[in-house]
């Protein structure tokens, strides 16, 4: 690959040990316990019964979710572990041998395996399939002893794996497995009976009475009947999903009960989803009718056949989307079946709430919402800042989960560092990385002063279908100090892109790429849209229905509203504590969300949390919650209303989904949020500075700027990147000559209350990029840019410097930025466990940036070089100073400051060049000396 110096990684198939296969399949649910076993050796004299101590041996017990195994004894612990893993794989029907049999060999093994299922020995085995064979012996009439082929295909993973070896297309076709099983049965005419066009198999000879009776008696301890709650999913999207009750008697077969609920005569006509829905340990599966015309080519001896199916009935988009493969006709979602752990029939109830939770769990945002247990409040964050600030499932974990749920191959990660090494990570993919090759980038990237280039890593991620068709590529350009950070950020980019699609699946690919910004995503449209076509169909119908409901809800009170954020009836109460949240801090809130019925006082509580934390400025909550929280101080409470989100989110949150669905269907509704801001945890940068400086550095920087404003007798001020408005607050508390203030960017608190009586005649808040010129900000007396440029890329900081001094041209410009060399002191003061490092250079290189959002931090030499070159280029003088620490001692000031002063006469500076009168900024808020204010919010 040529992108960024990445090299092609050689791949080959790797042989996995039995233990590696078990760990890969079960993860932490596989528990290996090795015990020491003392071997006793008898001496050579029979008359002396004195035991002799033999060599130390080891035995391993392996506990899996459904069974446990114990190894033989071995001299080495690892041999005992591998032996236990081999026994477990044998019990699971998984062949660890890397020698893959040919299609013909797999066909012969398949025939032998089907024959074994109908043997006397199998009826006393521990296989989950045994329960179905016993239930078949309780069926009446012509169904007596008939075993549905669909359960054989689902419950015996060994058969399914053999079918995949015969034909890889089995992976994406649940009917093709049945084809091979039924064809294998026809080769066993002396043992079993089949009927052409039927999906069931009988044993030709009756079981011996003693085997039959003992097996049935073992399963006869279940209650007389079982009532199981399941979900009926109609094929028509115009019909609602609804709960059904399955009544299974102790002598009945649950597949026959499901068949009757699907208007079929018996369970032989029912197909079962080959994989479980939801948790891997569950028995939740989809059940649907088999096609009435199912033709099998029974004449050919070759195993490479295709199924010929004539489906009658329409595609079921909801069931197909939930399962990942096409399902026709109505379907039932039920958690029922036979397992290794349970003697009788295992079953769990499924509610409408659990169905809708499974539905939203198929979207990236839904995965995050459920991990935070805040379906109506949380949102997939836009940025991965730090692991300590992240809450909920991590992006990499969510991406793996998304791929598994949608029958995609698990994501393939490739990481590349500036130290010219590449690594790759792939889990359970068709091919494993066998060699990690070096790559010569010919380019060195640094991120901040004193940062070792070898610390910088970037990551690529690729998504493939099960058949290895490319779906998505993500090739970020950003480098990170840690490999884990690069992987998490790349994963989040993919999730964000996917999330934009799931919010609007009709969006054009070009618009989708523009909508989510520069996420460095390459999509393969044909493969991508083919994979998610069923979701697009579901979404269109849901949006049409939601649009009809929104038209009815137009009468929501719009007083105290922020329409562009969808906020209505906003009220904030309680005393102002003066402690406001800002970007980067952790806000702790308590909240409740209720469904409000228009014209009624009744409310339906949907969701509440006594304490919920999120990082401000990352989009970790819905926009309405973040906008309102930003206007609150600690201790205050707020109430507001918003329009309804997608219906599945509401039903997934509601405890009584059926009642909530009835309310949504019959009346116009909205959501009402009650929020209390409990406390705020400041960003790491502020905590580090406060640990060493009093007053804090942020206050010292503002006071430094105030002193220059007063000394200069400036009447106009522009503050580039005003943040939370701390400079504005301070300006209003002290007498200055200022008459006009321009504040650039958005404040995080209500401004009307922040403007007391003052000599200032006007204040304007603009929103726009400080690297773009707006003529309304030209020629001001003084400009400030306090701790802003480090949040930009270095080239953007240089661009800002050129634009502000060449186009904005303030008489005085004050720029402050962190001194990277001071970080060793700051980070040491904020951690009591950090030891002294005698090597200052090593200590400096190991320092982190002060804030996760900083794109760079400069040393004094770097800052002086940047400022000096700017001043010389644009006819300004520059002097250097700072706050925190001392400029006379190493390592200088904690915050370094450059003060630029124009050498150009004022009358020349006031002249704008032709074509420079464009207005690129948006006015967010204005205030004049008469006390009148206007907000565009």
In angstroms, the CA 857 to CA 446 distance is: 11
The answer to whether the bond into 695 is cis (omega within 30° of 0) is yes
pLDDT computed for residue 123 by the predictor: 82
> Phi/psi of residue 102, each to 5°?
-70, 170
pLDDT one-digit tens code per residue, 535-565: 766 665 555 455 545 434 444 454 555 666 6
C-beta separation of 684 from 881 below 8 A: no
How confident is residue 432, by pLDDT bands cut at 50, 70 and 90? very low
Largest CA distance in the chain: 120
Q: Is 553 exposed, middle or buried (0-12, 13-18, 19+ CB in 10 A)?
A: middle
Six-digit token pair at 561? 């509203």
How confident is residue 863, by pLDDT bands cut at 50, 70 and 90? very high
633 vs 97, which has greater pLDDT? 633
Most trustworthy range by pLDDT among 3-7, 17-21, 515-519, 670-674: 670-674
Q: Which residue spans within 758-837 are E strands per DSSP?
A: 762-767, 782-786, 812-818
Most trustworthy range by pLDDT among 172-176, 228-232, 746-750: 228-232
688: pLDDT strictly greater than 70: no
Percent of the chain scored above 70 by pLDDT?
A: 75
pLDDT computed for residue 835 by the predictor: 37
> Phi/psi of residue 206, each to 5°?
-70, 150
Q: Residue 33's beta-bridge partner residues? A: 61
* pLDDT mean across residues, the chain: 79
Percent of the chain scored above 90 by pLDDT?
A: 35
> Phi/psi of residue 154, each to 5°?
-85, -45
342: pLDDT strictly greater than 90: no
6: pLDDT strictly greater than 50: no
Choose the weakest-confidence range: 110-119, 125-134, 424-433, 908-917.
Answer: 424-433
How confident is residue 423, by pLDDT bands cut at 50, 70 and 90? very low
92: pLDDT strictly greater than 70: yes
723: pLDDT strictly greater than 80: no
171 vs 323, which has greater pLDDT? 323
263 vs 767, which has greater pLDDT? 263
818: pLDDT strictly greater than 70: yes
C-alpha distance from residue 412 to each of 3, 401, 424, 433, 870 (Å)? 17, 13, 7, 10, 45
195: pLDDT strictly greater than 60: yes
pLDDT computed for residue 47 by the predictor: 43
236: pLDDT strictly greater than 80: yes
Count CB-CB contacts under 10 A for residue 308: 13
* CA-wise closest residue to 382 among 460, 520, 503, 493: 493
> What residues have CB less than 8 Å from 451, skipping those under 6 apart?
481, 845
Count CB-CB contacts under 10 A for residue 455: 18
Q: Is 453 exposed, middle or buried (0-12, 13-18, 19+ CB in 10 A)?
A: middle
> Phi/psi of residue 594, each to 5°?
-125, 150
Choose the weakest-confidence range: 141-155, 228-242, 283-297, 846-860.
Answer: 283-297
* CA-wise closest residue to 745 among 923, 927, 935: 923
How confident is residue 45, by pLDDT bands cut at 50, 70 and 90? very low
C-alpha distance from residue 167 to each of 164, 305, 528 (Å)? 5, 8, 24
48: pLDDT strictly greater than 50: no
Alpha-carbon dihedral angle through residues 274, 280, 283, 284, given to the nearest 10 degrees: -80
Most trustworthy range by pLDDT among 123-132, 758-767, 870-879: 870-879
pLDDT computed for residue 9 by the predictor: 31
C-beta separation of 505 from 534 below 8 A: no
Residues listed for the chain: 937
In angstroms, the CA 564 to CA 729 distance is: 27
User: What sign does the CA torsion over 87, 93, 96, 97 have?
Assistant: positive
228: pLDDT strictly greater than 90: yes
Predicted model pTM: 0.67
Q: Which residue spans within 123-233 are E strands per DSSP?
A: 147-148, 192-194, 200-203, 225-233
Write down all domains in the chain, each with its CATH number in brackets. 17-92 (3.30.160.20), 103-350 (no CATH), 546-682 (3.10.50.40), 685-935 (3.40.50.150)
How confident is residue 853, by pLDDT bands cut at 50, 70 and 90? confident
Six-digit token pair at 808? 């904005």
Count CB-CB contacts under 10 A for residue 746: 17
757: pLDDT strictly greater than 60: no
pLDDT one-digit tens code per residue, 727-749: 776 676 666 666 667 766 544 44
Sheet containing 637-642, strands listed edge to edge, beginning at the edge strand earlier in sequence = 568-573, 637-642, 669-681, 586-597, 603-615
The mean per-residue pLDDT over the stretch 186-191 comes to 90
The mean per-residue pLDDT over the stretch 86-90 comes to 91
The mean per-residue pLDDT over the stretch 348-364 comes to 92
The mean per-residue pLDDT over the stretch 459-472 comes to 91
Choose the weakest-confidence range: 274-283, 453-462, 865-874, 913-922.
Answer: 913-922
pLDDT computed for residue 541 by the predictor: 53
357: pLDDT strictly greater than 70: yes
C-beta separation of 57 from 79 below 8 A: no
772: pLDDT strictly greater than 90: no
Choose the weakest-confidence range: 7-21, 93-107, 810-824.
Answer: 7-21
52: pLDDT strictly greater than 70: no
C-alpha distance from residue 149 to each of 162, 212, 681 (Å)? 15, 21, 59
73: pLDDT strictly greater than 50: yes
Residue whose structure tokens are 């699946």:
505
pLDDT computed for residue 629 by the predictor: 94
């Amino acid at each position: 690959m040529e992108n960024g110096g990445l090299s092609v990684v050689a791949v080959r198939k790797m042989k996995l040990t039995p233990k590696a296969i078990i760990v890969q399949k079960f993860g932490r649910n596989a528990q290996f316990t090795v015990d020491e076993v003392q071997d006793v050796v008898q001496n050579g004299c029979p008359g002396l019964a004195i035991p002799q101590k033999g060599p130390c041996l080891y035995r391993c017990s392996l506990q899996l979710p459904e069974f446990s195994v114990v190894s033989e004894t071995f001299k080495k612990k690892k041999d005992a572990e591998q032996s236990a893993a081999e026994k477990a794989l044998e019990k699971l029907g998984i062949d660890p041998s890397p020698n893959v049999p040919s299609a013909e060999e797999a066909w012969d093994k398949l025939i032998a395996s089907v024959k074994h299922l109908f043997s006397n020995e199998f009826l006393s085995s521990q296989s989950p399939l045994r329960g179905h064979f016993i239930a078949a012996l309780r069926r009446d009439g012509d169904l007596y002893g008939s075993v549905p082929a669909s359960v054989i295909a689902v419950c015996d993973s060994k058969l399914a794996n053999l079918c995949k070896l015969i034909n890889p297309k089995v992976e994406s076709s649940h009917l093709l497995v049945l084809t091979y099983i039924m064809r294998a049965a026809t080769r066993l005419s002396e043992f079993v009976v089949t009927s052409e066009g039927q999906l069931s198999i009988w044993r030709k000879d009756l079981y011996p009475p003693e085997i039959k009776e003992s097996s049935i008696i073992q399963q006869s301890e279940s209650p007389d009947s079982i009532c199981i709650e399941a979900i009926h999913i109609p094929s028509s999207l115009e019909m609602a999903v609804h709960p059904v009750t399955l009544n299974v008697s102790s002598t009945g077969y649950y597949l026959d009960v499901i068949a009757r609920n699907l208007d079929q005569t018996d369970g032989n006509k029912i197909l079962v989803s080959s994989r479980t829905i939801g948790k891997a340990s569950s028995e939740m599966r989809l059940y649907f009718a088999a096609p009435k015309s199912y033709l099998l080519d029974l004449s050919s001896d070759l195993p490479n056949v295709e199924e010929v199916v004539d489906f009658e009935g329409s595609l079921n988009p909801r069931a197909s989307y939930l399962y990942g493969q096409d399902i026709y006709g109505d379907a039932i979602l039920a958690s029922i079946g036979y397992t290794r752990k349970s003697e009788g029939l295992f079953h769990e109830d499924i509610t409408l709430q659990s169905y809708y939770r499974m539905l939203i769990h198929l979207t990236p945002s839904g995965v995050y919402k459920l991990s935070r247990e805040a379906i109506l409040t949380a949102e997939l964050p836009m940025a991965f800042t730090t692991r300590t600030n992240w809450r909920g499932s991590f992006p990499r974990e969510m991406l793996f989960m998304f791929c598994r749920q949608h029958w995609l191959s698990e994501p393939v990660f490739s990481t590349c560092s500036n130290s010219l090494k590449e690594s790759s990570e792939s889990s359970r993919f068709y091919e494993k990385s066998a060699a990690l090759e070096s790559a010569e980038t010919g380019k060195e990237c640094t991120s901040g002063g004193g940062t070792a280039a070898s610390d910088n890593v970037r990551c690529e991620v690729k998504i493939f279908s099960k058949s290895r068709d490319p779906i998505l590529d993500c090739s970020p350009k950003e480098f990170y100090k840690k490999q884990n950070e690069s992987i998490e950020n790349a994963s989040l980019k993919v999730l964000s892109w996917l999330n934009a699609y799931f919010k609007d699946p009709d969006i054009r690919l070009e618009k989708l790429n523009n909508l989510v910004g520069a996420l460095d995503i390459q999509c393969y449209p044909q493969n991508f849209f083919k994979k998610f076509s069923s979701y697009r169909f579901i979404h269109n119908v849901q949006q049409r229905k939601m649009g009809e409901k929104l038209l009815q809800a137009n009468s929501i009170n719009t007083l105290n509203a922020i329409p562009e954020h969808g906020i209505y009836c906003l009220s904030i109460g309680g005393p102002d504590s003066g402690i406001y949240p800002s970007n980067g801090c952790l806000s702790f809130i308590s909240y409740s969300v209720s469904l409000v019925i228009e014209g009624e006082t009744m409310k339906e509580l949907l969701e509440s949390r006594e304490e919920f934390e999120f990082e401000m400025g990352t989009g970790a909550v819905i926009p309405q919650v973040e906008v309102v929280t930003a206007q609150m101080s600690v201790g205050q409470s707020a109430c507001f209303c918003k329009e309804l989100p997608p219906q599945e989110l509401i039903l997934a949150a509601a405890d009584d989904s059926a009642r909530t669905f009835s309310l949504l269907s019959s009346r116009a509704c909205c959501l009402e949020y009650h929020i209390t801001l409990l406390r705020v945890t400041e960003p790491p940068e502020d905590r580090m500075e406060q640990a060493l400086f009093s007053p804090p550095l942020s206050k010292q920087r503002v006071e430094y700027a105030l002193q220059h404003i007063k000394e200069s007798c400036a009447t106009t001020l522009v503050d580039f990147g005003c943040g939370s408005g701390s400079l504005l607050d301070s300006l209003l508390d002290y007498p200055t000559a200022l008459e006009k203030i321009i504040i650039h960017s958005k404040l995080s608190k209500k401004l009307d209350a922040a403007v007391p009586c003052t000599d200032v005649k006007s204040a304007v808040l603009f929103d726009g990029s400080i690297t773009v010129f707006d003529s309304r900000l030209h020629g001001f007396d003084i400009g400030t840019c306090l701790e802003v440029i480090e949040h930009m890329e270095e080239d953007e900081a240089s661009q800002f410097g050129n634009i502000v001094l060449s186009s904005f041209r303030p008489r005085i410009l004050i720029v402050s930025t962190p001194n990277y060399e001071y970080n060793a002191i700051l980070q040491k003061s904020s951690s009591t466990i950090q030891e002294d490092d005698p090597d200052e250079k090593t200590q400096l290189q190991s320092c982190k940036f002060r804030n996760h959002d900083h794109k760079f931090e400069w040393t004094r030499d770097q800052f002086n070089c940047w400022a000096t070159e700017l001043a010389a280029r644009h006819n300004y003088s520059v002097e250097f100073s700072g706050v925190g620490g001392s400029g006379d001692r190493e390592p200088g000031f904690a915050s370094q400051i450059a003060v630029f002063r124009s050498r150009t006469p004022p009358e020349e500076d006031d002249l704008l060049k032709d074509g420079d009168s464009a207005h690129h900024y948006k006015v967010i808020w204005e205030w004049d000396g008469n006390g009148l204010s206007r907000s565009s919010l």
